[in-house]
Structure 1
Amino acid sequence: MSDQQQLDQQNALDQLSINTLRFLAVDAVEKAKSGHPGAPLGCSPIAYLLYHKLMRYDPADPKWINRDRFVLSNGHASALLYGVLHLAGYDLPMSQLEQFRQFGSHTPGHPEYGEAPGVEVTTGPLGQGFSMAVGIATAEKHLAAVYNRDEHPIIDHYTYVLCGDGDLMEGISHETASLAGTLGLGKLIVLYDDNLISLDGPTELSFTEDVTRRFEGYHWHVQMVHDGNDLVALEHAIQKAKAETTRPSLIRVRTVIGYGSPKAGTSKVHGEALGAEAVKATKKNLGWPEDKTFYVPEEAAQNWAKAKEKGKKVREEWNKNFAEYKKAYPEPAGEFERVVKGELAAGWEKKIPIFPTEKPIATRNAGQTVMNAVAGVVPELMGGAADLTASTKTIFKDSPNFHVDPKGRNVFFGVREFGMCAMVNGLAQHGGLIPFGSTFFVFSDYARSAIRMAALMHAHSLFIFTHDSVGLGEDGPTHQPIEHLMSLRLIPNLTDFRPADANETAACWQLALERKSPSFMALSRQDLPVIDAEKYKVREGVRKGAYALDASGKDIILIATGSEVSLIVKAAEELKAAGIGATVVSMPSFRLFDEQDAAYKASLFPENTPKLAVEAGATMGWYKYIGHNGGVIGLDRFGASAPGAIALEKLGISVAHIVEQAKKLVKK
C-alpha cells in the first residue's frame, strides 16, 4: 500500500470515527426531543482529535491526578461529551446515551460533576467552565512547582477548554481571561468554537468585538484555524499552543454549527432537536445509514478503543515514574499522596489556637490567625482575596505570592469576585488543594452563581466573607449585607458559618477544612468579646451548629449568631435582674444544626418555651426554629451610613431592644 493510500485510509477512518460521534449526539438529542445538536455536529472533529490522539488520560482511572483535563464550557453541547466518553472507553454505557436528559440518568442536559465519569466540572451557566479551567490550570502550575523534581515531573498536564461565543460574551470570562494572562498559565489551551451564530441569530447582532485582539491584550497566544474539519490544521495549532509555555492559548476555530444538516449555519440548529426528516437528511448528507440510531461501526469502535489502550500505557509509565520519585523523595511524595487523597495530616488540628478571653478580637482577625497557625500543617490550603487581603485578612505571611513564584499560596485575584470564586471551584476540582476566595460579604452577590456551582459539585471550596453586617459602619447601605446570609443558607450542600467570636471562628475553620464540601464564613469587622473555649466547650458546640452558653433560664430562649451573640449575653443579664430567666444559645451554623438528631434539637429548643432570635440580617428563615410563639429581631430594610455601633443601635440591634422584646414574649 502506498503512502497516499495509507493516508486516504486513515482519513476515511478519522471521518468515520468523527461521524460516529456526531450521530450519537444527534440521536441522543432526537430521542430526548430536547437538546443542542448544532455544536456536536460542528465540533466533533475537535473532540475526536483531543480524545483520540492528543490528550493524556486513562478511562479506566478517571481520577488519575496527572490526566489532561477537558472542560466543555459550552455545556449545552453535553451530548458531544457523553458520546466521546462512551467511545473513549469510560464507564458510560450506550444505555445512558439513550436516556439523555431523562430523570435518573447519568447524562443530564448539561455536564454535572459526579454523574458521568470523565466530567471534570459542572458546566451550565456560560463562562463558568472557562473560568473553572483557569483555576484548574492554576492548580497544575502550583502543584508542579511544589512537588516536581527535574527528573520526575509528576504533575505535568494540560487543561483544554471548548467554549463558544456565549462563554466569551459573559463578563466572567473577561475576568478570568485577564487574570490567566497575568498568571502566565502556559498549559491552558482554549478552543473557541467560532461559528458566528448565537441563539438569537448571527453573532453580529450582539458580538462584534475583535476577539483576537482582546485576548492578545490579555497576554494570550492566539491562533486561527479557518476550517474546523481540518484535522491537520487543528493539530498543528494545538502543538504550537503547547510549545508556548509562558502564555495561555486561544485557538479560534471556524466551524459550521449543525454541520451537514439542512439547518447548518443557522440559529435554528442551536437548541432544539433536528426533527425526524432533518435527521435523515443529515445522515444522508454525511453518508450515514439513515435507518440506524445509536450506531457505532466496528471499525470506528476499534479506532476509538485505541485511546483506552494508550491511556493505560501512559498511566502505567507515570506510576513507574512516581514509584521512583517516592524512593528518591519520600517526604514530598508522602505529602503529595495525602493531599491528592484529600486527607488532612494526622494531628493537624492541634495547631488551631485557643484564644484568651481578655481582649476582644474581630472574627476576621481571628480567621487570619487560624489560617497562619495551620499553614505549615495544611500546605494544601491556598487562595486569596478580590483585591481585599488587607481588609479580609486572608494572606499567608510566610508564603510567596503565586504570580511571582508558583510555589506561593497567595493568589491576588484582583477585583473579580465572580471569576475568583469560579477559579476557586476549579482549584478544588483539580485535586490536591483546599482553595479559598475572600471578599466583603455584600459582594457575594457578584459570585453567587459560582458559589451555587460549588454546592452542585460538592466541591471543597471555601468562601471567606468579612464585613458581615451593618456593623461595618460608615460605608453605608451599598456595602452592608442584609439578605445575603439568609439567601446563601438556601443553597443545598453549602455549609454556613457565622461565628460569634474568635474561638468559634477557630472551630468553624476546623470544620470547613474537614467537611470536604463547600462552605462560607461571615466574619466581623468589629471586635467581639471572646468566649471561654474550654468552659463552654465551644468546639463541640460549633460542631452541632447551635449550643447553649447558659442553659439556666427557663422563661425564654435567646438565640443569635455572630456579633449579636454578645448582645444576647448582656440582655440575659438584664433580664435576670428583672426576674426573667433566659437561656442563651449561639447558633453559628443552620446547616450543622439541621444535621443533628431530633432529640438534640428538642433539648435545645423545647417546643413550649418562647424564643427570640437576633441577627443583623433578613429575618425570614428564622421562623422554622422559633415557632409560632417566637420573635425575631433583624433587618428587613437596608442599612445606613454611620459608625458601626450607632448603625446597629439605630436599626434596633441593641441590648435594650432585645430586653424589651423578650419581656413582651414572656408576658404572652
Structure 2
Amino acid sequence: MSAQLDQRCIDTMRFLAVDAVQKANSGHPGLPLGAMPMAYVLWDRFLRHSPSNPGWTNRDRFVLSAGHGSMLLYALLYMTGYDLSLDDIKQFRQWGSRTPGHPERGHTPGVEVTTGPLGQGVGNAVGMAIAEAQLAARYNTPNHTVIDHRTWVLASDGDLMEGVASEAASLAGHLKLGKLNVLYDDNYVTLAAGTDITFTEDRAARFAAYGWHIVHVDDGNDLEAIDAALQAAQDETTRPSLILVRTHIGYGSPEQDSFEAHGSPLGVDNVRRTKQHYGWPVEPDFIVPDDALAHMRKAVDRGIALEQQWNDRFSGYAQANRSLAAELERSLHGALPEGWDGDIPVFPADAKGMATREASGKVMNAIAPNLPTLTGGSADLDTSTKTALKGFGDFNPPLQAGQDPQGSDAGGWSHAGRNIHFGVREHAMGAIANGMAAHAGCIPYTATFLIFSDYMRPPMRLAALSKLHVINVFTHDSIAVGEDGPTHEPIEQLAGLRAIPNLVVIRPGDANETAVAWRVALETRGTPVTLVLSRQAMPTLDRGTFAAADGLRHGAYVLDDGDADPAVILIASGSEVHLVVDAAARLRETGLAVRCVSMPSWELFDAQPQDYRDSVLPPTIRARLAVEAGATQGWWRYVGDSGDVLGIDHFGASAPGGTNLREFGFTVDEVCRRAQAVLSSATASARR
C-alpha cells in the first residue's frame, strides 16, 4: 500500500502539471512528467522545510533551476500545504495569478529564487550554500549548532550547458560546499532536439574534475534507488554532490523522449492517452485523491515539529551566547546595527583628491568592523577595485586532515572569512551574490570593472526583478581608463544599467559623495544598488563652498549656485562633476549666471517629489548642458529640446586617460563653448 500511495502522490502531481499546462494552453509538461519521482522522494523524505512558515531560518533551500518546469514546483507546494490553492494551480500563467510561467521570488510562497534563464538557479544555489557555510562558521559554537541546512537543486541539460552553471560549479567544488546537492534531470532531450546534436560530453567526469561527489541513478522511476542516491549525497560532507538521474521527458505520454514534450501542451488527445497509460481518470481535470493529499500534507506537521525543535535549540543558544544570538537575528532580518556608519570618514577638500574607487575602499573598511553582514569580493580584481575587507579573512575551503596549503596561512583556510574570491567568473559572481541575498543573513557585494558589467547583466536583471539587496561595485568607469584601450573603456554600459527597472545606479562625483553612496546602498531595501567608480583621481570638493554631499540621497542636487537666477544649468555625474565646476567658474568670469548640478543617480532623482525636481532643474531654465563620459542616451529627458549633452557615442582609444578626455572633448573649453551655445539656442527659441 505504501508503494501504491507513493505512486498515487507522484501521479497526482504529474497530472496537476499536465492539466494546468493544457488549460493555459502554454507551458512545459515534459519535465514534470519525467522528473516528478525524484522531486517527490526529495520533498517527502529528505527536505527539511515548514510549509506553514516558508521563511523559517534553518529550512533546506530548494531551487528549481530548470524554471520552465515550474508546474512541478507549484504542484509540490500545493500538495505539501503551502499557501497555494488548487484554484491557483488552475490559474497557471494567467493575469494576476500566483502561478506565473516561471518561478518568481516574493510572488509565490515557497519559491526561493526567480529562475527561468537557465543556469542562474545553479549559481543562486552556490550562493545559498556559501551563505549557509559562512553563517555556520561565524555563529555556531561547539555546544550549539543553529545554522545547519542543505541546498537542493533540480537542474536540466540546459542548465548544465550554460556557462554560468559551469563557472559556479567550478567554484563550488573548489570551496568544498558539502551541503550543496544538484539533482540532474538527465533525459537526453533539449527544447529543439536530442542532446546528441549538442551535448555529448561526460557530464559526470566534468563535475568530478570540478571536485564534486558523483552519484548515478539509472532509472528515474525507481524510488528506492533515488532514495539511496539522495542519502549518499547527504552523507557526503566535504564535497558538493551531483546526482545524475536518468529520466524520460514526457514520461508515459505519446511524446515521451521527444523534444515535442518539452515546451508545448500535450494537446487534448495526448492528455487523454497519457492518463489512460497511467490508469488515471480522463475526467475531470485536476483530480486530487484524498489519501495522496493527506499523505503529502503531513509535511505541515513535520515542518512545525522541526521548527519547534530548532526554536528550542536557538533558545538555549541565545541564553549561552546573548550577543551572538542578537547579532544573528538582526542579520537575518536585514537590520543595520546601531552605529554601523559611525566610523565613515569625512574627506577633507583636496584639489588633487583621489579616485572614487580609493574612497570606496576606505569607506568599506571603515564600515566592515561595525557591519558583520557585509561580505563579498571581486572577479579576481580586488587590488584594482579596492574592495578587500582588511583583517576579515578569506572564505576558503576548510583544510582537510594532512593538507598543507602552499604559501597560505593555514589559519585563514575556513568558511568563516568575509572576502570571497570569485575568480574570473563575473556571470557566476552575480548569480552567487543573488543566492546569498536570497538566503538572508548577509549583504553581499560584487566588484569588477564597469566594462565587464555586460557579463553580469542577466543576474543583475534577476536581482532587480527579485528585489534582492545586492551591491555591485564597478570601477574603471570611462574612457579615462586610458591605455588599456576601447576593449576596457565603457561607453554604453551606464545607459544599459540605467535601463534596468528597479536597479539603482549611483556614480558619485568625489570622495564624500562616495561615502554617502555607500550609506544609501546599505540602507536601501527592495532593490539592488550599483556603484560606478573611477580609476583616476578627481578633486575632493570643498564642502564649505559647495553643497553638502548628502544631497546625493536625492539623486541630484544643486552643488553650486553662483546666482539666484541662473541663466544656464550644467549637470554632471562622477568624474565630470569637477569639470563643470571649473567651467562654471570661467563662465562666471564673463558675467554669466551658472548653476552646477551633481546628478549621481537618475533613479533616486526620479523618485523625488515633483517640487524637489523642479527646484533643482527649474522648468523655466531651458538652457541646460549635461556632461558625462559615456553614451548620451537617456540624458535628453533632463536637458530637454533646448539642451545639449556632452558625451561619447563611439568607442574610445588606447592612450593615457587624460589624453583621451582631452581628445574626446571633455575639457573646460568645450564645456564653456557648449554652454554658450545652448544659452544662445534657448534664448533664440524663447524669442520665437
Instruction: Give the TM bin, normalised by the shorter chain.
Output: over 0.9
For the residue of structure 1 that corresponds to 2:468, the secondary structure is: coil
1:39/1:77 contact within 8 Å kept: yes
Q: CA deviation at 1:666?
A: 1.5
The equivalent position to 1:408 in structure 2, one of 417, 426, 433, is: 417
The 3-state SS of whatever aligns with 1:294 is: coil
Match of 2:614 among 602, 611, 616: 602
Q: Deviations over 1:225-250 (max 9, x none)?
A: 00111111111111111111111000
Query: For 1:444 and 1:87, how far apart are their aligned partners in 2?
Result: 41
TM-score by length of 1: 0.98
Q: Does 1:41 align with 2:50?
A: no
Q: Is the 8 A contact 1:52 1:306 kept in 2?
A: no
Which residue type is aligned with residue 457 of structure 1?
Answer: S
Alignment match of 2:426 (pick from 410, 417, 420): 417
1:161-172 aligned at under 5 Å gives the runs 161-172=153-164
Q: How far did residue 14 of structure 1 move?
A: 0.2
1:53 is aligned to 2:53: no
Q: 2:624 aligns with which of 597, 611, 631?
A: 611
Aligned to 2:591: 579
Cα distance in 2 for partners of 1:478, 1:235 equals 51
SS of alignment partner, residue 473 of structure 2: strand
Corresponding position: 1:528 with 2:535: no
1:379 corresponds in structure 2 to 372
Partner of 1:630: 643
- Would the aligned equivalents of 1:53 and 1:307 in 2 still touch at CA under 8 Å? no
Contact 1:338-1:344 within 8 A present in 2 as well: yes
Map residues 453-464 of structure 1 onto 2, 5 A cutoff: 453-464=462-473
**Which amino acid is the alignment partner of residue 190 of structure 2?**
S
Larger displacement relative to structure 2 (284-293 or 533-542)? 533-542
Give the aligned residue type for 1:502. A
Q: Is the 8 A contact 1:187 1:242 kept in 2?
A: yes
1:140 aligns with 2:132: yes
Q: Distance in 1 between matches of 2:76 and 2:118?
A: 21
Structure 2 SS opposite 1:251: strand
The Cα of 1:578 is off from its aligned counterpart by 1.4
> Which residue does the alignment assign to 1:640?
653
Shift of 1:535: 5.6
Query: How far, CA to CA, are the matches of 1:176 and 1:419 in structure 2?
Result: 5
Cα deviation per residue 1:455-511 (whole Å; 9 max; x = unaligned)? 010000111000000011100000000000011001011000100011000100011
* SS of residue paired to 1:375: helix
Which amino acid in structure 2 is aligned with residue 147 of structure 1?
Y
Which of 559, 576, 582 is the matching residue for 2:571? 559
CA apart distance, 1:533: 4.5
Structure 2 CA distance for aligned equivalents of residues 628 and 537 of structure 1: 28
The alpha carbon displacement at 1:451 in A equals: 0.5
Please state how far the C-alpha of 1:536 moved relative to its aligned partner: 4.2
Hey, what's the Cα distance between the residues in 1 that align with 2:142 and 2:295?
35
Asked if the contact 2:513–2:550 (Cα under 8 Å) also holds between the matched residues in 1, the reply is no
Amino acid at match of 1:598: Q
Q: Secondary structure at the match of 2:505?
A: strand
Question: Structure 2, unaligned stretches of length 5 or more?
Answer: 397-412, 682-688
Question: Partner letter of residue 148 of structure 1?
Answer: N
Query: 8 Å contact 1:418–1:450 — kept in the other structure?
Result: yes
CA shift digits 1:516-560 (9 cap, x unpaired): 220111100001111244664534301100011112341100000
1:4 corresponds in structure 2 to none
Q: Which of structure 1's runs of 4+ aligned residues deviate more than 4 A?
A: 533-537
In the alignment, does 2:523 pair up with 1:510? Answer: no
Other structure's SS at 2:181 match: strand
In structure 1, what residue type is equivalent to 2:249? I
Matched, 1:437 2:450: no
Give the count of matched residue pairs: 660
Deviations 1:36-56 (A, max 9, x none): 000000111111111112111
Aligned partners of 1:296, 1:151: CA distance in 2, in Å? 45
Structure-2 separation of matches of 1:532 and 1:163: 55
Choose 556-565 or 101-110, whichever is displaced more. Answer: 101-110
| Aligned-partner SS, 2:540 | coil
CA contact (8 A) 1:354 1:533 kept: no
SS of the residue 2:369 aligns to: coil
The 5 A counterparts of 1:135-534 are 135-358=127-350, 359-403=352-396, 404-516=413-525, 517-533=527-543
Matching residue of 1:81: 73
Task: Give 1:347 deviation, angstroms.
Answer: 2.2
Residue aligned with 1:612, SS: strand
Tell whether the 8 Å contact from 2:63 to 2:152 is kept in structure 1 after alignment: yes
1:356 positional shift: 1.1
Whole-Å separation in 2 of the counterparts to 1:181 and 1:606: 57
Equivalent in 631, 634, 638 of residue 621 of structure 1: 634
1:88–1:305 contact (8 Å) kept in structure 2: yes
Residues 141 and 406 of structure 1 are in contact (CA less than 8 Å); yes or no, is this contact kept in structure 2? yes
- Return the alpha-carbon distance in structure 2 between the equivalents of residues 113 and 533 of structure 1: 43
Matches within 5 A, 1:118-137: 118-137=110-129
Counterpart-to-counterpart distance in 2, 1:642 and 1:179: 36
